[in-house]
Chain A
Amino acid sequence: MKQLLIFIRKEAYHIFRDKRTLLILLGMPMVQVLLFGFAITNEINNARIAILDLSKGEMSRDIIQRMAASGYFEIGENLHSLSDIERHFRQGKTKLVAVFPPQLEEKLLRNTPVQIQLVADATDPNTATTLINYASAIIGRYMQEQNQGKALPLAITTEVKMLYNPRLKSVYMFVPGVITIILMLMSAMMTSIAITREKELGTMEVLLVSPLRPSTIVIGKVIPYILLALTMAAIVLMLGAFVFGMPIRGSLLLLIAECVLFVITSLSLGILISTRTETQQVAMLISLMALMLPTILLSGFIFPIESMPKVLQLLSNIIPAKWFIIIIKNVMLRGTGFDFIWKETLILLGMALFFIAASIRNFKIRLA
């Protein structure tokens, strides 16, 4: 026990004396959250659109005004003919063009169906879809208001309610994702680097010749990084809460406990990597390639797992991050308790035990 404390103190010296790395470690989560929160967002504000108003009536003016007032659009140029549309898109001046047909009001009064054409630049399909949805919604709502009081021939309307994230804020999606990536990367990469560093410097041999048990060496290495990783998780959570208004609806204690579990899973993965590698560079590369990409792509952080091909869906099950994201989304957004996430928790626990067992085995093989 005393030896363990001595070892942890030594490890703390390493961490705190390497100011540059420490700064990167603590700065990176902040930069990531702010970047994801502000820059990389699915919401669209003030997209430039153009109008081709061939009807020039009261109705089309009303609709255009509503679009401008919604905050999603910024009305740019008024076009004059259909041939302008193509040119306008090519010049990249606009993302969407709304075309109002001639004699809008007259046709409506005569009960002939009219169509407002929405033309979008689909070089970026996600933005195009979102813009079209926004615009259709505004037009639809306007029509509903116009029709009030008039008896309509059988119409089905949908009433939509977005649970847990009514304003569809993308921060709600990024904060859990960023926490996951940071905890995974930091824990796995930092431990694998810290252990391979001792191998590279030759101090590992001296430690192994000493009466220290290998388990003491590993635990002593890992504990400071658990604390560091949890500090980073706290930074991300606080930024999410105070800067972006991300709620924590469930129990904070449960959230912390699940974070600790995930950190331990990632750390044991880091230890496993370090038992198979000799140099810091290789350890870093493996951590980045083998952990970062699958964590981002297959965890459901950015791309929904349900829409992946079957093979990738199966593959995603072995990504620890997938289960952790399910857990923290549940706790933070839905406010569910442990009885809804025990299965995922158990899977993470199983993975941690598996990695630990595998690293102990590897450690022994290396010594033989």
Chain B
Amino acid sequence: MLPAITADKLTKRFGDFTAVNQITFEVRKGEIFGFLGANGAGKTTAIRMLNGLSRPTAGQASVAGFDVYRHAEKIKRRIGYMSQKFSLYEDLTVRENIQFYGGIYGLPLDEIRRQMKQLVAGLGMEPYARSLVKSLPLGWRQKLAFSIAIMHRPEIVFLDEPTGGVDPITRRQFWEMIYKAADEGMTVFVTTHYMDEAEYCGRVSIMVDGRIAALDTPHALKAQFHAASMNEVFLNLTRPGRHQS
């Protein structure tokens, strides 16, 4: 089976600064791949190269079997993306946001209508379907944003810190939604800096200063670093003087 994402020595430089330095990895189909790193480690830049927002300086990458340099348009139809900033329109209602995003992905009207019912019911948001998004609590908005990001059934969904600032209970529910999507065969590429969330991922890579410092299942990583939790693994890797090894 072809991998969902491959990156081979993928590099992005901004002038003298190398944000992403020759990262190489593969994400399998249907996998939940955790992309960890401190703020500024290069996670977002890496995601932006994969989803077509940013052109790599060097290296190779393919997403859903298509080359990021040559087939960016084909990739766009096969991926979903939830950016670090809130990605819905606050002055539109829940329904209007669903209609808009369904529409720009070219979903037929009856399909949008069907999904709308399902999606709103699934989130328990029927009473709020006609409320402006800005009136909803943050946790709900994030769940709604995720549901909308996967509405067009993408092969791969990129989530850039989807649970930032969200309470633990909602985070739990959010991860249940991620699991459900993965069960349906979707590949999930998620960045986070909550180390407990790293435990939920199938495999994790940890980025330090633009490089991938470690990549394995949470279990194997803990064994390798003799750590009790992913938090310890992370501190071990990011502690000054360690990351050259």
Q: Which residues of A contact B (CB under 8 A)?
A: 2-3, 6-7, 9-10, 13-14, 17-18, 201-203, 205-212, 367-368
Contact = CB atoms under 8 A, between A and B. Distances in A.
A92 B195 CA distance: 78
Interface residues of B, number: 29
Given A3-B104, A203-B89, A211-B77, 5 more contacts: A203-B85, A206-B82, A206-B87, A211-B106, A367-B53
Interface in B76-126: 76-77, 79, 81-92, 96, 99-101, 103-106
B131 to A, nearest CB: 13
Nearest to A10: B100
B85 A202 contact: yes
B85 A201 contact: yes
B81 A6 contact: no
A14 B105 CA distance: 20
Contacts of A7: 100, 104
Contacts of A209: 51-53, 76, 79, 81
Interface in B40-54: 51-54
Contacts of A10: 89, 92, 96, 100
Contacts of B96: 10, 13
A202 B44 CA distance: 13
A6 B53 contact: no
B49 to A, nearest CB: 11
Contacts of A210: 76, 101, 104-105
A209 B72 CA distance: 9
Of all A-B residue pairs in the complex, the 9 with the closest CB atoms, nearest first, are A202-B85, A6-B103, A209-B81, A206-B87, A368-B55, A205-B83, A17-B91, A211-B76, A10-B100
A9 B104 CA distance: 12
Nearest to A203: B87
A212 B100 CA distance: 12
Contacts of A208: 52-53
B73 interface: yes
A2 B86 CA distance: 26
28 contacts: A3-B103, A6-B99, A6-B104, A9-B100, A10-B92, A10-B96, A13-B89, A17-B91, A18-B91, A201-B86, A201-B89, A202-B84, A202-B85, A202-B86, A202-B87, A203-B87, A205-B53, A205-B87, A206-B83, A208-B53, A209-B76, A209-B79, A210-B76, A210-B101, A210-B105, A211-B106, A367-B54, A367-B55
Counting chain B CB atoms within 10 Å of each CB, which of A10, A205, A206, A208 scores highest?
A: A206
A14 B51 contact: no
A184 B52 CA distance: 34
A368 B13 CA distance: 12
Contact of B89 (A2, A3, A14, A367): A14
Contacts of B104: 3, 6-7, 207, 210-212
Contacts of B101: 210
Interface in B6-32: none
A207 B106 CA distance: 13
Contacts of A367: 53-55
